[in-house]
Amino acid sequence: MNISVIGTGYVGLVTGACFAKLGHKVICVDVIKEKIDLINRKVSPIYEEGLEEVIYKHVGKSLSATLDLKKAILSTDMTFICVGTPSREDGSIDLNYIKKSAEQIGKILKEKSGYHLIVVKSTVVPSTTEKVKEIIEKFSGKKDLGICMNPEFLREGKAVHDFLNPDRIVIGEYDKKSGDILYELYKDFSCPILRVDLKTAEMIKYASNAFLATKISFINEIGNICKKLDIDVYKVAEGIGLDSRISPKFLNAGCGFGGSCFPKDVKALAAKAKEINYNPILLESVLKVNKDQPLRMIELLKNKIGNLENKKIGVLGLAFKPNSDDIREAPAITIIKKLIKEKSIVYAYDPKAMKNMKKIFPDISYENKAQNVIDNSEAILIVTEWQEFKNLDYKEKIVIDGRKVLEKKDINYEGICW
Ligand SMILES: NC(=O)c1ccc[n+]([C@@H]2O[C@H](COP(=O)([O-])OP(=O)(O)OC[C@H]3O[C@@H](n4cnc5c(N)ncnc54)[C@H](O)[C@@H]3O)[C@@H](O)[C@H]2O)c1
């Protein structure tokens, strides 16, 4: 099929590259020229395991990138909308990029003859795709349009693998004709394909992320209680995870979830609930536990070394999770902010995310090796579970471990929940 993809972020670029890998002809569109130039030079603008290889192999053949949305839409039969849907100040979803894309698509489709399918892949609150349809109809003057909502469940860091090996594919369809075309695109995937209406597809995405976030805040709260009772929460998690109704996944207690999705999506769902006069008590609590969790590391640090002013503190790990350069809503941001407030001298290291973190904190010291952070600091906070942090020489220094990276049990070692 001939596919255009709007937005070359984690979702759009992975979607485009993977469809090209699967034999389709794909044009990726973005408004950022640097991204487009990089892709056309066969370089990935983001770090994602395996993505650069796919881009390298298919750019110049079945995959290309452009700033020209019109050219992309006019030369394809199907357009995926993968633009960002950030949080507003009050936590509700900002749909401006989606609306803008819908308007642009509508204007372009006015000049295109024949049927075109638009697929919203961005995460959007229930009823949004219906509005996208109305906007496109308004600007195109057309009624015979295909509309689907196809939520994406990929994990950053494993995005290519997850896109190609999903647990399930959800097709939210405005009508059968739209759904049939999208089904055709996915029919060779071996996982279950669930066909539902637009609103249900939108809600499945939010409910999935809210559930996973709840699992994390749940085990973190259990961990905080376990710590006070001198119980190993990881043993507790093993014990409850063996219950097949619970499963062991997402039960790693630590310094909290981050990333572009869980915080944003839980906040957006809570805001949507309030908008329709429902008080989302559980979702609010999930967010509250998560907000406080990174700061528990600072509390533990203070218990060990007292006042933090002028103390040299190392932060190992900046990305919200390993194998990613993404720092959006990362616990490291909350931690560094607090350390700066307490007037500590901060040394930081991350194998992939330092470039991004420098944009937020340009004035802390970034080291080119994890070992340098340890050598320079009197206490070390482990915030992301990068594999390489397991085998460093911690030199008997104070370590507050937010991710159970180390198995240490000595007096200088403290786990956040164990
Ligand atoms: N990142 C994830 O792990 C993940 C997983 C599942 C779903 N999602 C959802 O997918 C959506 C995209 O997320 P992301 O992480 O890829 O976002 P991102 O911010 O990394 O990328 C969005 C891209 O869209 C581009 N863009 C914005 N407006 C545009 C326009 N009018 N025309 C062309 N390009 C435009 C931006 O320049 C940017 O490159 C969001 O709704 C997100 O919630 C993300």
Regarding the beta carbon of 50 and ligand 1, being less than 6 Å apart is answered no
Kindly give the distance from the C-alpha atom of residue 295 to the centroid of ligand 1, in angstroms, as a whole number: 29
In this structure, what token pair is assigned to residue 275?
């908008």
> Whole-model pTM above 0.85?
yes
Regarding the beta carbon of 122 and ligand 1, being less than 6 Å apart is answered yes
Within 13 Å and on the Cβ side, how many CA atoms surround 179?
15
Asked if 80 contacts 121 with a C-beta cutoff of 8 angstroms, the reply is: yes
Regarding the beta carbon of 203 and ligand 1, being less than 6 Å apart is answered no
Kindly give the distance from the C-alpha atom of residue 154 to the centroid of ligand 1, in angstroms, as a whole number: 13
Partners of 25 in beta bridges: 2
What pLDDT is stored for residue 179 in this prediction? 98
What pLDDT is stored for residue 391 in this prediction? 93
Kindly give the distance from the C-alpha atom of residue 344 to the centroid of ligand 1, in angstroms, as a whole number: 35
One-character DSSP codes across 215-245: HHHHHHHHHHHHHHHT--HHHHHHHHHTSTT
What pLDDT is stored for residue 409 in this prediction? 81
Regarding the beta carbon of 10 and ligand 1, being less than 6 Å apart is answered yes
What pLDDT is stored for residue 253 in this prediction? 98
What pLDDT is stored for residue 156 in this prediction? 85
331-363 as b/e: b if 16+ CB within 10 A: bbbbbbebbeebebbbbbbbbbbbebbeeebee
DSSP H/E element including 341: helix 331-341
Q: What Å distances lie between residue 312 and 245, 305, 330, 345, 372, CA to CA?
A: 45, 11, 21, 5, 12
Chunked in runs of 10, what are the mean pLDDT values of the chain (418 residues)?
A: 97 98 98 98 93 97 98 98 96 97 98 96 98 98 96 93 98 98 98 98 98 98 97 96 97 96 96 97 98 98 97 98 91 98 98 97 98 98 97 95 92 94
Atom 12, ligand 1: residue with shortest CA distance: 84
Q: Best of 4, 14, 30 to mutate for ligand 1, by most ligand atoms within 8 A of CB?
A: 30
Task: For residues 352 and 317, give the distance between their C-alpha atoms in angstroms, rounded to a whole number.
Answer: 9
Ligand 1: nearest atom to the Cα of 260: 1
Which residue, among 252, 230, 248, 250, has the nearest Cα to 239 in the 3D structure?
248
Q: What amino acid positions are annotated as catalytic residues?
A: 261
267-306 as b/e: b if 16+ CB within 10 A: bbbbbbbbeeeeebeebbebbebbebbbbbbbebbeeeee
Kindly give the distance from the C-alpha atom of residue 83 to the centroid of ligand 1, in angstroms, as a whole number: 4
